[in-house]
C-alpha cells in the first residue's frame, strides 16, 4: 500500500480528524504503518480509545480504496495531500489543516491570493447584489473568490466572479460525488472549468449538517480575508469569521439595516472590530500589504518608472494622470473618464507596483524613481 492510499483510508475512518491522524502518524512513523497496525500496535496511543481503535481495525480498507479510485477516475478528481507541493501553503499553516483535499478543476488556483465571501442562505435582494458586485470587482482585481456553494450569498459570490471572467473556488461540506444544493450543479461545473471545487471528505460523503463547520475552516484558511454579507446571529458565516480570526485572517463585514434579523450577525461583527465594509476599495486597501508578497513586479525604469512595468490600459491611463502633486480620487475619475471602481482598482495595482502612493483623504501621488 502506498502513502496516498493510506492517507485516503485514514481520512475516511469515522472518528479520525486531521489532528488525530497526525498524532497516529507521529507515533507509528508513517500513514502506511498506522493502516497496517494491529490492536497491539495501536494500544496506548493517547486519545485513541476503544471506539476509535475498533473503527480503525474494522474499516473495509480494500473495498473502500477500490470504490474510491473508481470514483476519482470517473469524475476526474485529483487528491492533494499535505506533503504534496500542490497543497496550498496558507492552508497548511492553519490548526487542524485537512489531511487530504479532493480537487475537481484546476488545483493551482488554490495557491493564488484569495478572498472569501460568505453570508446568509436566506439573503435579501440587497445582500445578493452586494455579494455579486464585490465578487466581480475583487475578481477583476486578480483575486480568487472562495465560498461554500450554498444558496444565497455563496451562490451570488461564485456567480459574480464568473461573470467577471474571474476565478472562484467552492468548498463543499460533502464529498465531490454530491452537489449540494442540487440546483447548483451547473454552477459547480462552471466553477471547475477555470477554478476548483474542493472537499476534504471522501467522494460519497453525504451533506450532513455537522460537516459544514469543518468546511468553513477551509474557506477561511484559503483566504487572506473573509467578507461577511448578511448573517443572522446564529449563522455559518459567523463560524467562518471565528475561524478567520483564529487563523489570523482579516474579517470584513457589510453593514445591514438595523432591526433585520439577517443583518444582526454582520452588524455585531462590526461592533466587535471587524472592518466596516461599504466598497471593494475598503477590502483592497486593508489587504494591500499582505498581497504584495504575491506580486512579483519588474523593477521600474529610471526614466519614468512605468515603461518597464507590465501595465493594463487602465493602469497606464491612471499612471499618466497622477503626478508629484497629490490628486483626489474623484478628480482622477473626472480626468480619466474611468469609473470609480476602475480607477480605484488601477490605483491599487499601481500601489503594488510601487508607482503610486496613497495619501490620507483618498489622495494619490506619483512615487519618484531613483536616478
DSSP string of 118-130, one letter each residue:
EE-TT--HHHHHH
The pLDDT assigned to 314 comes to 84
CATH (domain of 303)? 1.10.10.10
Give the pLDDT confidence score for residue 78 in this predicted structure: 97
Count of domains for the chain: 3
Q: Decide if 85 is inside a domain.
A: no
Q: Which of 290, 313, 328 is the last residue of a domain?
A: 290
pLDDT at 370: 56
Ramachandran quadrant class, 248 (left: phi over 0; alpha: psi -120 to 50; beta: rest): left
Same domain for 26 and 117, yes or no, is no
Residue 82: what pLDDT? 93
Q: What is the pLDDT of residues 87-96, one digit of tens each?
A: 999 999 998 9
Domain boundary among 55, 73, 91: 73
Last residue of a domain, one of 262, 290, 318: 290
**Is residue 55 located within the same domain as residue 196?**
no
Residue 348: per-residue pLDDT: 78
* Other beta carbons less than 10 A from residue 91's beta carbon: 23
Using CA atoms, how far apart are residues 205 and 326, in angstroms rounded to an integer? 57
Strand-pair partners of 144: 114
Does residue 258 form part of some domain? yes
pLDDT of residue 267: 94
> What integer pLDDT is reported at residue 298 of this predicted model?
35
Has residue 168 been placed in a domain?
A: yes
Closest CA to 230 of 277, 267, 263: 263
Assess if residue 94 is contained within a domain. Answer: no
Positions in the chain short of pLDDT 70:
289-309, 341, 369-371
pLDDT of amino acid 296: 38
The answer as to whether 350 is a domain residue is yes
**pLDDT tens digits, 76-87:** 999 999 999 999
- Residue numbers of the domain that contains 67: 1-73
Same domain, yes or no: 55 and 137: no
In a domain, 181, yes or no: yes
164: CATH: 3.40.50.450
Residues 69 and 188 in one domain: no
* Span 105-130, pLDDT tens digits: 999 999 999 999 999 999 999 999 99
Q: How far apart are CA 359 and CA 361, in angstroms?
A: 6
pTM, entire model: 0.80
Separation of first and last alpha carbons in the chain: 62
Q: Which of 139, 133, 93 is nearest to 113 (CA)?
A: 139
Amino acid at each position: 500500500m502506498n502513502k496516498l492510499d493510506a492517507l485516503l483510508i485514514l481520512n475516511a475512518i469515522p472518528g479520525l480528524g486531521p489532528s488525530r491522524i497526525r498524532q497516529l502518524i507521529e507515533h507509528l512513523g508513517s500513514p502506511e504503518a498506522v493502516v497496517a497496525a494491529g490492536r497491539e500496535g495501536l494500544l496506548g496511543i493517547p486519545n485513541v480509545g476503544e471506539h476509535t481503535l475498533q473503527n480503525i481495525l474494522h474499516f473495509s480498507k480494500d473495498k473502500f480504496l477500490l470504490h474510491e479510485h473508481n470514483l476519482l477516475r470517473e469524475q476526474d478528481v485529483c487528491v492533494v495531500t499535505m506533503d504534496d507541493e500542490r497543497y496550498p501553503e496558507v492552508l497548511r499553516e492553519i490548526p487542524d489543516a485537512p489531511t487530504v483535499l479532493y480537487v475537481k478543476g484546476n488545483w493551482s488556483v488554490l495557491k493564488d491570493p484569495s478572498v472569501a465571501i460568505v453570508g446568509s442562505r436566506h439573503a435579501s435582494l440587497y445582500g445578493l447584489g452586494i455579494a455579486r458586485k464585490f465578487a466581480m470587482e475583487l475578481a477583476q482585481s486578480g483575486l480568487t473568490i472562495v465560498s461554500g456553494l450554498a444558496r444565497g450569498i455563496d451562490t451570488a459570490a461564485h456567480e459574480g466572479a464568473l461573470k467577471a471572467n474571474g476565478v472562484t473556488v467552492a468548498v463543499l461540506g460533502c464529498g465531490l460525488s454530491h452537489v449540494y444544493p442540487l440546483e447548483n450543479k451547473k454552477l459547480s461545473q462552471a466553477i471547475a472549468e477555470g477554478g476548483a471545487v474542493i472537499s476534504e471528505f471522501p467522494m460519497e460523503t453525504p451533506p450532513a449538517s455537522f460537516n459544514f463547520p469543518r468546511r468553513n475552516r477551509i474557506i477561511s484558511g484559503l483566504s487572506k480575508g473573509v467578507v461577511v454579507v448578511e448573517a443572522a446571529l446564529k449563522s455559518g458565516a459567523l463560524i467562518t469569521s471565528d475561524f478567520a480570526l483564529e487563523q489570523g485572517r482579516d474579517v470584513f463585514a457589510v453593514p445591514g439595516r438595523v432591526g433585520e434579523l439577517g443583518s444582526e450577525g454582520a452588524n455585531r461583527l462590526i461592533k466587535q472590530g471587524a472592518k466596516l465594509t461599504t466598497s471593494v476599495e475598503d477590502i483592497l486597501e486593508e489587504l494591500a500589504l499582505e498581497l504584495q508578497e504575491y506580486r512579483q513586479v519588474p523593477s521600474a525604469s529610471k526614466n519614468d518608472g512605468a515603461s518597464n512595468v507590465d501595465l493594463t490600459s487602465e493602469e497606464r491611463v491612471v499612471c499618466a494622470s497622477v503626478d508629484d502633486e497629490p490628486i483626489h480620487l474623484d478628480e482622477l475619475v473626472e480626468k480619466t473618464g474611468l469609473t470609480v471602481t476602475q480607477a480605484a482598482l488601477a490605483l491599487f495595482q499601481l500601489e503594488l507596483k510601487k508607482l503610486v502612493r496613497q495619501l490620507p483623504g483618498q489622495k494619490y501621488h506619483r512615487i519618484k524613481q531613483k536616478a
